[in-house]
């Protein structure tokens, strides 16, 4: 095992220098993070770009972010300039020699998803993440990702318009995440990101109203880590025989956290909320993963992915 390639990972045929992925919405469209002094692709394998819709969106009213005792709530509302602007104006400014970039496609209808994916297919992004936690306007606002049938329909429709790897981002706010994963695999997904945020709220006691302008938001950070670990392990039971990789995410803030997710079945690990209080946390997590890999005499992290002993 050499220092140069000890953390290298193959993900859907994409060669990553490291199993760490920076999560969508946490580093904008990438340039906000890669320009930080000390950034290195030695410590970050890929960046998932901000959620992108077909048309520009202004997002939700303020307040949009609220710190909790063990994480944060966010209700940004997918503010973004629209996919055409991202493809024509933003992607050309990114240095694709620095790291890999995954797009994040969002929509209010299945047709929206298809058009966003179609435009990203004709771009240099390496893969496309489907954010199926978006509200389905044709189903009264229920999230696409909370219904296995509708989730699969989104994946199937997007699969038809792109040859790039599709990563389906699974919601924890559903009855059976494993069944949803199974249906999405049959529909053509290449990978999963698990999990998206849990829904929560905060209350302004003095004002007797919700703190967030949207009323509710997504809870992330260490508070959701136990839930995320369980969901990753449940999805892994479906994925392991089919060779479908998982990006495990939800409250990771240390190398030990990342290792737990990989033992539970994650091939890559996503860092999000931790970046808000420590933008350069990735080198430390990367070093801790590498140290563990050396301790267990593994050539690469994939050698211990999913290697939980039975309770």
At 132-173, the pLDDT tens digits run 988 766 776 678 999 999 999 999 999 999 999 999 999 999
Residue tagged 């949207």 (tokens): 214
Length of the chain: 311
Q: Give all domains of the chain, ordered by start, each with its CATH number.
A: 9-304 (3.20.20.70)
* Residue 134 annotated to the active site: yes
Helix axes 282-295, 255-264, angle to 10 degrees: 60
Sign of the Cα pseudo-torsion (33, 29, 157, 149, in order): positive
Lowest mean pLDDT among 38-47, 62-71, 73-82, 110-119: 38-47
Whether the predicted pLDDT of 310 surpasses 80: no
Pairing of strands 9-11, 71-74: unpaired
What is the pairing mode between strands 9-11 and 14-16? Answer: antiparallel
Give the model confidence (pLDDT) of 207-233 as tens digits. 999 999 999 999 999 999 999 999 999
- pLDDT score for 39: 75
CA 76 vs CA 59, 64, 65, 102, 214: distances in Å: 6, 5, 7, 20, 9
pTM of the model: 0.96
Residue 43 is given by DSSP the state: T
pLDDT at 40: 77
Q: Is residue 186 over pLDDT 70?
A: yes
Cα gap 64→82, rounded to integer Å: 20
CA dist 107 and 130 (Å) reads: 9
Q: Of 106, 134, 158, 282, which is the active-site residue?
A: 134
């Amino acid at each position: 095992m050499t220092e140069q390639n000890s953390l290298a990972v193959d993900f859907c045929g994409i060669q990553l220098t490291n199993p760490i992925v920076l999560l969508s919405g946490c580093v904008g469209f990438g340039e906000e993070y890669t320009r930080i002094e000390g950034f290195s692709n030695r410590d970050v394998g890929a960046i998932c770009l901000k959620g992108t819709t077909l048309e520009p969106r202004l997002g939700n009213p303020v307040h949009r972010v609220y710190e909790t005792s063990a994480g944060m709530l966010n209700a940004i509302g997918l503010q973004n300039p629209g996919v055409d602007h991202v493809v024509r104006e933003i992607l050309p400014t990114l240095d694709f020699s620095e790291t890999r970039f995954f797009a994040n496609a969002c929509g209010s209808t299945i047709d929206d998803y298809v058009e966003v994916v179609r435009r990203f297919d004709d771009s240099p992004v390496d893969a496309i993440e489907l954010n199926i936690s978006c509200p389905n306007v044709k189903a009264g606002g229920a999230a696409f990702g909370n219904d296995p049938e509708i989730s699969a329909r989104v994946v199937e429709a997007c699969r038809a318009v792109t040859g790039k790897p599709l990563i389906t981002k699974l919601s924890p706010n559903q009855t059976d995440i494993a069944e949803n994963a199974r249906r999405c695999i049959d529909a053509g997904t290449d990978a999963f990101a698990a999990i998206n945020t849990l829904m929560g709220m905060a209350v302004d006691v003095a004002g007797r109203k919700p703190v967030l302008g949207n009323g509710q938001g997504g809870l992330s950070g260490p508070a959701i880590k136990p839930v995320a670990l369980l969901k990753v392990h449940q999805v892994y039971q479906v994925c392991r025989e089919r060779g479908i990789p998982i990006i495990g995410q939800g409250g990771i803030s240390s190398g030990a956290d990342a290792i737990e997710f990989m033992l539970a079945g994650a091939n890559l690990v996503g860092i999000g909320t931790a970046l808000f209080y420590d933008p350069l946390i990735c080198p430390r997590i990367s070093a801790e993963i590498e140290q563990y890999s050396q301790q267990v005499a593994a050539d690469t992290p994939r050698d211990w992915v999913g290697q939980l002993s039975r309770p």
